[in-house]
Amino acid sequence: MKKSFVLEDLDCAHCAAKMENGIRDIPGVKSCTVSYLAQKLTIEADDDVFDEILKKAVKLCRKIEPDCKIITD
């Protein structure tokens, strides 16, 4: 499964790169891109673990840039 999410208040290109690398290291993630310019996160992972990976990605992003929110609605 591949899904894209809007990032709200991502203020730093360096932080976007740290998020991308951190999410890629989560077990089960096939690919991940974080676009600072488009304010977009794209994750590809297996369907059966996608929700758990998304929770870990949200937690990681909050740790790297506390003001940034991943819009998952």
The string of pLDDT tens digits covering residues 41-64 is: 999 999 999 999 999 999 999 999
Predicted TM-score of the model (pTM): 0.91
Centroid of chain to Cα 34: 7
Q: What is the pLDDT of residue 14?
A: 96
> Whole domain around residue 44: which residue ranges?
2-71
Mean of the per-residue pLDDT values of the chain: 96
CATH number for the domain including 50? 3.30.70.100
Q: What is the pLDDT of residue 72?
A: 86
Q: What is the pLDDT of residue 62?
A: 95
Q: What is the DSSP string of 5-66?
A: EEEES---HHHHHHHHHHHHTSTTEEEEEEETTTTEEEEEE-GGGHHHHHHHHHHHHHHH-T
Residue pointed to by tokens 């993630």: 29
Our count of domains for the chain comes to 1
Distance CA 14, CA 60 (A): 14
